[in-house]
Amino acid sequence: MAKKSTVKSKSHKVSPNAKKTVMESSSDGKTSLGKKILIGFVVVIVLFLIMFSAQLDEYTFEHEVTIAAPEDKIFNQVNDLHDWVAWSPWEKSDPAVSLTYDGKALGVGSVCHWRSTAIGSEANMVITESVKNDHISMLIDIFTPAYGRNNFLFSFEPKGADTLVKWRVTGPNSFDDKISRMFGGGDKTLDKNIQTGLEQLKALFQPTDKT
């Protein structure tokens, strides 16, 4: 009777040192990846801080327009807050806007308070400086939808029979404003309103022009 031959398979044992090497390699890989993520995070934070610190504490918008009219007529139109309803970008955007006046009739000390339900805004405007046919400065406090303070400066420069009118707006850059401007945001509505206001002011003196 033939004997059955049995072959025992030899099991390959992994040495403790080999296991340790594999585990250390895996651990090193995870540590390396973790370090890269941490370094990337730090770089992003540093870049954010650099961009944030580069933002100015005050923003400025300025637009200009040349109007075929003498500077004294245009100056008088801006110097009397009662006349703003004819060209202001805010009053014209809401025909039902509530307007109240206080202080002097025109010039320094003249005050206009307006409330608009349509655009959900309330503000107070006062003329702080007025130099005949040269420039007018104003202080604007916005109460809703959020509080803010702006400064307006109108300047009038004769150009022959025409007048170059510039409207500059300045105000403080809040924390949110700085972050918004870092990503291409900012108060684009205000910037657009300034341009629109000048175009409408020009239309008063040049009604046949489209701009």
- Has residue 48 been placed in a domain? yes
Q: Note whether 159 and 135 are within 8 A (CB).
A: no
Q: Let me know whether 44 and 86 are in one domain.
A: no
Cβ(165)–Cβ(154) under 8 Å? Answer: yes
Which of 168, 194, 197, 201 shows the shortest CA–CA distance to 69? 201
Query: For 48-189, where are the E strands, in sequence order?
Result: 58-67, 98-103, 110-116, 121-131, 135-144, 148-159, 162-172
Q: Is pLDDT of 7 > 50?
A: no
pTM of the model: 0.68
Helix (H, G, I), strand (E, B) or coil at 49: helix
Interval 114-156: pLDDT, tens: 888 877 789 999 999 999 999 999 999 988 877 788 999 999 9
89 with 24, same domain: the answer is no
Residues 81 and 154 in one domain: yes
* pLDDT band (50, 70, 90) for residue 92: confident
Do residues 179 and 152 make contact, with C-beta atoms less than 8 angstroms apart?
no
**In Å, what is the CA distance from 195 to each residue of 41, 46, 53, 58, 134?**
41, 37, 29, 20, 20
Domain match, 32 and 124 both: no
In a domain, 100, yes or no: yes
What is the residue whose two structure tokens read 């022959």? 160
Q: Is residue 133 part of a domain?
A: yes
What the block records as the tokens of 9 is 């398979």
- 11-61 pLDDT, tens digit each: 555 455 555 555 555 556 667 777 777 777 777 676 655 665 555 567 788
CATH of the domain at 65: 3.30.530.20
Do 36 and 92 fall within a single domain? no
124 domain residue, yes or no: yes
